[in-house]
Amino acid sequence: MIAAVVLSFGLLGLVAMQVTAKFSSYEARQRTIANWLANDLVERARINKDSWAGQGTTVVSGNAILDMPSCANNNGTMSDCSRAERQALDLFYWQQSLLGTAVSGAASPLQSPVGCVIRGANNSLTIGIFWQGRESLSDGAGAVAAVRNSCGLGNAADRQRRQFVLTTTL
C-alpha cells in the first residue's frame, strides 16, 4: 500500500515535469522563430542598404496588410524598382513571413505578432518582434521600453506579451 502511494506521487511528479518541458519547448520555439524573422530582415536590409538609408519607424502587423510594390512580380522577380519600392518589398516579404502567409495555407508561427523596424542615426537598425504567449511571465519588459514606445506598443504590464529585440549596425 505504501509503495503504491510512493509510486503515484512519483508518477505525478513525472507528469508535472512533462508539462513543464512541453511549455518550455513551445516558448523556446517561439523565441527561435522571432530570432529567425529578425535576422531575415537584417539580411534584407544589408543587401538593400541604400534602400534603408532614411531614418524612421515602421510597424508591421496583421492589422494593415502591406501591398506588393508594382515593380515586383509574384514569381519573386523585380523590374526597375526604386529605393522606396525595394524597401517596401523587403517589408512586404517580411510581413508575409511574420504572419505565416508566405506559405500557402499556413498560419502565423507567432500568436498575434507585431514587427517593428526602427532605422536610427549612425546606420543603426533595431528590429522588435512582439507576440502573445500562452502563460503569464515576466520577460524584462523595462529593458526595451524605448523600443516598445517607439513602435506604439504601450501596455508593459501585459505579462503574456513576449518580445525579441535585435539592434545592429548596417
**pLDDT for res 55:** 86
- Mean pLDDT (the chain) is 82
> In whole angstroms, what is the distance from residue 139 CA to residue 141 CA?
6
- 31 residue type, one letter: R
Check whether 141 has a pLDDT greater than 80.
no
Residue scoring higher pLDDT (163 or 141): 163
Identify the band that residue 45 occupies on the pLDDT scale cut at 50, 70 and 90: very high
Query: Looking at 16-20, 21-25, 39-43, which range is the least confident one?
Result: 21-25
Residue scoring higher pLDDT (38 or 20): 38
**pLDDT for res 8:** 83
Q: Where are the domains of the chain?
A: 2-169
Q: What percent of the chain has pLDDT over 70?
A: 84
pLDDT tens-digit profile of 57-95? 888 887 888 888 988 888 878 888 899 899 999 999 999
pLDDT tens-digit profile of 88-121? 999 999 998 888 876 555 667 888 888 999 998 8
Query: Looking at 80-84, 130-134, 138-142, which range is the least confident one?
Result: 138-142
